[in-house]
Structure 1
Amino acid sequence: MRLLSRILTGLVLLLGTGWAALALALTGAGPEGAHLVRALPALVLVAVAVALWRRSSWRVAVAVVVAGCAAIYGWVRTVQPSDQRDWAPDLARAARAEVDGTRVTIHDVRDFRYRSTTDWDASWYTATYDTRELTGAWFIVEPFSGFYGAAHTMVSFGFADGRYVVFSVEVRREKGETFSALGGLFRQFELIYVVGDERDLIQLRSNHRKDDVYLYPVDASKERIATFFLDMVARMNALHERPEFYDTLTSNCTTNLVRHVEKVSAVKVPYDHRTLLPAYSDALAYELGLIEKDAPLEVVRARHRINVQAMAANGQPDFSRRIREAGATAASTP
């Protein structure tokens, strides 16, 4: 029993002070990176706790660490999100919309033209969409090369006039800032709904980042898709009015999409590794019947990998039509 209490006390001290150090160093950190000096109180906390453990009891040491973590958590909660920062150029504008019945006018739809991932011509436009003209929705999955289970997910909506608009839930980076999954746990980044043309948001990923991109038609009624679209617009507008922090575990690209799905349908989405590791989110969508299930999942994946079509359609005005063309399945199968 004595050995067990020592082990548990050691774990509390290690995990508690580790969390405290990360919270102090990363919370609110911007392009300058982690504030290492600010993390020094965590070292003082562990030193005091260890000294008390040796001279008094493990209960006192644990109480000190818990109290210290509670105080730091209270400070963390005082750090507030902002929409007034020196944003990275591709995230400089946050989309917003005006809704008039079935007509939705979206401002700052992104439409960049890329020569590489770091060289582009910036462009935004305003467009009006009518939910009565919706023809479908597509679930997009972009697994990240070299990162097990990591991926980005998006949703695209198509309209009868041939236009497509993509909603992408992302980290809103500042100039010089890079994404960190660890930083995303400690209020380091704001959340943004990027709304853009498929020639921007899909082509960037398939043709320039060279990541696999899967484009799955969503199996849902037109009415449900319209409700889904309007719910994403409402969330986008809410973020424009009241900024929020991105959270790697609870408010990322996939968990936000899950909340939209649950709001507009009777589907209860389980929170498991397929949500935490979005590279497997298509497996979850497949299980729930949100994408087609007429073949084994690996066959469905191969059918909807659009990299071959995207490369062939590079820079073309009918990019969206071309990436939906059948016939490249065999060539695109890994």
Structure 2
Amino acid sequence: MLLSLALIIALLVNVWVLLALWFHRPHGAVLRYVPIGLWVLIWGTAVMYLFRAHYLPAALWLCSGLAPVLIWWFGVLPKGQGDWADDMAYTTTGVVDSDRLALQRVRSFNWSTNDIYQQNWVSREYDLSDLQTVDMITSFWGLRPIAHVLVSFGFGNDRYLTFSVEIRRLRNESFSILGGFFKHFELNIVASEERDIVLVRTNCRDEDAFLYRTRIGPDEGCELLLGFVAAANQLAAKPRFYHTLKANCTTIVFALARRIHPQLPLDYRLLLSGYLDEYIYGLGGLQPGYSLAELRERGRITDRAREAGDCAEFSRRIREGVPGCD
């Protein structure tokens, strides 16, 4: 029994250390796998002692290897600097002056394909008293339980500002769910025009997107918007890591929403973001008079986005037939 428990603990420690070292491999070709090799040697020696029922030497060997790994791990800090992918090059920041919101580094790319695009980072000003609506957009790229969540603020005259919590990818880097547990990605908050941030997902990355008009009113919407701005400003000043469970596109938004409604309950659908619409629907946060199935069917904007393409009326056209947007 003791041997089985010790082996399980040793195996769990081994998996964690191997993954941590794998996602932080040195860039140099010669040293790339040296830390992993050293750890395997130490861990293998500890397991050998375990099978011989020499528990104290086994524990000493395991601790001798784990201690420097933990010291290194707690020293891995976000830098806020890197050769970022072009669409993650900046964090949006903002300044509020009375009812005026001035944003810097709002993304306004023109996308031809996922690899061919025209870069534009612009400044935008908004009158907070013009804020009218808050929409939620979920975009699926693979497994049904997982979706990327965007929040879009409407200022009238088809003028929308969309916030997205993202991994801050390095150039030519891809998202990894496992990597998100091991300080592999930094966090980023980007504000963008829908003709950029929605179009690239539906038209260039073949994602499937759904738009829902929420029942968040202008006052609460303004609080949520300013929460995004404050979080982005803080992130720009003090970088932090993305975390697959604790700091992602859903949990960050939930934390901002909970400042407005502290009673919002925790729920597994905050982690399985593909079902976030079900969670909000159950709280009465979506348009009344429709079933969730109807809201999903009429809120699917993928085809309309592809038909609209890169046109000036993109935001209006993707909302055609969406409940609450008429």
The alignment's TM-score, normalised by the length of structure 1, stands at: 0.89
Runs (5+) with no aligned partner, structure 1: 329-334
State the alpha-carbon separation in 1 of the partners of residues 312 and 81 from structure 2.
34
Number of the residue aligned with 1:282 = 277
Number of the residue aligned with 2:294 = 299
Residue 314 (str. 1) matches residue 277 (str. 2) = no
Distance 1:148 1:327, change over 3 A: closer
State the alpha-carbon separation in 1 of the partners of residues 25 and 242 from structure 2.
12
Number of the residue aligned with 1:179 = 175
Structure 1 contact 17–65 (Cα < 8 Å) conserved: no
State the alpha-carbon separation in 1 of the partners of residues 41 and 119 from structure 2.
48
Distance 1:267 1:300, change over 3 A: farther
State the alpha-carbon separation in 2 of the partners of residues 277 and 30 from structure 1.
34
Q: In structure 2, the residue corresponding to 1:195 is in which secondary structure?
A: strand
C-alpha displacement at 1:76, in angstroms? 1.0
Number of the residue aligned with 1:156 = 152
Structure 1 segment 144-293 matched on structure 2, within 5 A: 144-145=141-142, 147-272=143-268, 274-293=269-288
Q: How big is the alpha-carbon RMSD for the aligned residues of Structure 1 and Structure 2?
A: 2.4
State the alpha-carbon separation in 1 of the partners of residues 64 and 280 from structure 2.
42
Q: In structure 1, the residue corresponding to 2:198 is in which secondary structure?
A: helix
Runs (5+) with no aligned partner, structure 2: none
Structure 1 contact 27–76 (Cα < 8 Å) conserved: no
Structure 1 segment 47-66 matched on structure 2, within 5 A: 47-58=44-55, 61=58, 65=62
C-alpha displacement at 1:86, in angstroms? 1.2
State the alpha-carbon separation in 2 of the partners of residues 300 and 324 from structure 1.
12
State the alpha-carbon separation in 2 of the partners of residues 317 and 258 from structure 1.
31
The alignment's TM-score, normalised by the length of structure 2, stands at: 0.91
Residue 125 (str. 1) matches residue 122 (str. 2) = yes
State the alpha-carbon separation in 2 of the partners of residues 79 and 208 from structure 1.
34
C-alpha displacement at 1:301, in angstroms? 0.9
C-alpha displacement at 1:138, in angstroms? 0.7
Distance 1:175 1:292, change over 3 A: same
Structure 2 contact 161–194 (Cα < 8 Å) conserved: yes
Q: Which amino acid aligns with 1:290?
A: G
Structure 1 contact 185–247 (Cα < 8 Å) conserved: yes
Q: In structure 2, the residue corresponding to 1:269 is in which secondary structure?
A: coil
- Give the count of matched residue pairs: 322
Number of the residue aligned with 2:24 = 27
2:137 to 130, 135, 140: 140
Provide, for residues 210-229 of structure 1, a one-character-per-residue CA deviation record: whole Å limited to 9, x for no partner: 22101111112211110000
C-alpha displacement at 1:257, in angstroms? 0.8
Structure 1 contact 293–300 (Cα < 8 Å) conserved: no
Residue 9 (str. 1) matches residue 14 (str. 2) = no
Q: Which amino acid aligns with 2:315?
A: S
Distance 1:89 1:53, change over 3 A: same
C-alpha displacement at 1:89, in angstroms? 1.4
Identity in percent: 33
